[in-house]
Amino acid sequence: MTPQISESEDIGDWIVHHLVNRPSWHPLPGVDIPLPETLRIGTIDLSITLHVLMLWVGALITFLLFAILYRKKTSQAPHGLTNLLETLVLFVRDQICIEYLGEEDGRKLAPFFLNFFFFILILNLMGLIPIFASATANINVTAGFALITVTMMIAGGVIRHGPWGFLKIFMPPGLPIFVYFILTPIEMLGLIIKPMALTIRLFANMLAGHIVIAAFISLIIGFKIWGLPFLGGVVFVYALELLVAFIQAYIFTLLSAMFLGSMLHPEHE
Amino acid sequence: MISAAGLAAVGAGLAVIGAGLGIGRLAGSALEGIARQPEAIGNIRNTMILAIVFIEGVALFGLVIAFLAMGK
């Protein structure tokens, strides 16, 4: 009985070890690349960890895709990779930006949301490739994304409507005066709750998917050759994760656009 | 005695029951809607996915809290 318990604890540690941030990158079994601990400002540790490295690699892949591989200045119809990317770009611009922000703002802000969509999508997909780790399964990364959204919401609201007009967004017209004392703080809580929900949704979705895959793999480890049927489960969950990677990138972008739209055009609410 | 990790697992299971009921009901209603009006399939699908993601988000809040309780 005792060896079984210790083995299950080992497997739990193994799953956790695969998901947490750490100061080294091992792309292949046996290969371990330590990352330098360089930056330290006061007591804040800003050293480069695995997920920071993954963010940089993701940014590099995004840059390569759109700066070099994406050919927009061709006379004939796009084909190959350009065609695939153009489908996604048009989808984000027409179905998300223009739909929720209006024709003018949508076109102006489309690059911002395209950045969100493709960066999150590539980070999600990198988590499914064995040599990389998934940076979006780290709550600090998703909180950073959500902070960008909430900054855009506040800045956009203040710039568009002015400071007083920004406050008026939280005061629906046509109510008795005393109701505003209760209603306005509650409406303003949305500014905190919305980015928190964005943060936890992306983080928890990616984390849960990876834990389920790792749990299926650990069943194979635990049951040795008799666990081989669980390989089907692994493949199924992996395919599901592929879908989730796209859906979560879409949802994050969509909700950011909806929240920003409700700040820019409050009368639509 | 049930350990904290065991209780956390039960909590995660309860969260999943709620999400399953919600998503099942939602998908059933969407199917009814599509059966009555097949031309609205695109709109219904988009709205359904959006609502499913919200329900899933709530279930995942429960899951995250279960993880936190497990770590204690």
Mean of pLDDT values over A7-34: 73
The per-residue pLDDT for A168 is 82
Q: Mean pLDDT for chain A?
A: 84
Q: Which three-class secondary structure state does DSSP give residue A24?
A: strand
Query: Quick check: A117 pLDDT over 60?
Result: yes
A218 backbone dihedrals φ, ψ, rounded to 5°: -70, -25
3-state secondary structure of A14: helix
Domain coordinates of chain A in residue numbers? Answer: 74-268
* Per-residue DSSP letter, A94: I
Does A46 have pLDDT greater than 80?
no
Measured CA to CA, the distance from residue A177 to residue A41 in angstroms comes to: 49
If you average pLDDT over residues A22-32, what whole number do you get?
75
Is B53 an interface residue toward A (CB < 8 Å)? yes
List the one residue out of A51, A58, A15, A19 whose CA is nearest residue A35: A51
Residues of chain A with pLDDT > 70, as a percent, come to 94
Which residues of chain B have a CB within 8 Å of the CB of A200?
A: 57, 60-61, 64
Report the residue of chain B nearest A139, measured CA to CA.
B64
**Which conformational region is residue A106 in: left (phi greater than 0), alpha (psi within -120 to 50 degrees), or beta?**
alpha
Sequence length of chain B is 72
Task: Encode pLDDT of A211-235 as tens digits.
Answer: 888 888 888 888 878 888 888 888 9
Place of tokens 């855009």: A152
C-alpha to C-alpha distance for A115 and A121, rounded to whole angstroms: 10
pLDDT in tens, B14-35: 888 999 999 999 999 999 999 9
**H runs (alpha helix) in A20-138:** 50-63, 81-91, 99-101, 103-126
Q: Which residues of A touch B13 (CB under 8 A)?
A: none
- Contact at CB, A247 and B53, closer than 8 angstroms: yes
ipTM computed for the complex: 0.70
**Phi, psi (deg, nearest 5) at residue A80:** 65, -135
Over the stretch A226-269, which tens digit does the pLDDT of each residue have? Answer: 888 888 888 998 998 998 899 899 989 998 998 898 888 876 44
Q: Could you tell me the pTM of the whole model? A: 0.83
Of A204, A247, A254, the CB nearest to B64: A204
Instruction: Please indicate if any CB of chain B lies within 8 Å of the CB of A135.
Output: no
**Whose structure tokens read 């100061």?**
A23
> Using the beta-carbon criterion (under 8 Å), do B63 and A205 form an inter-chain contact?
no
Residues B56, A205: C-beta atoms closer than 8 Å: yes
- Burial, A82: exposed, middle or buried (Cβ in 10 Å; 0-12, 13-18, 19+)? middle
Angle at the Cα of A210 (from A220 to B48), degrees rounded to 5?
Answer: 120
Residues of B in contact with A251 (CB under 8 A): 50, 53
**One-letter amino acid of A223:** F
The beta-carbon neighbor of B60 closest among A200, A251, A254 is A200
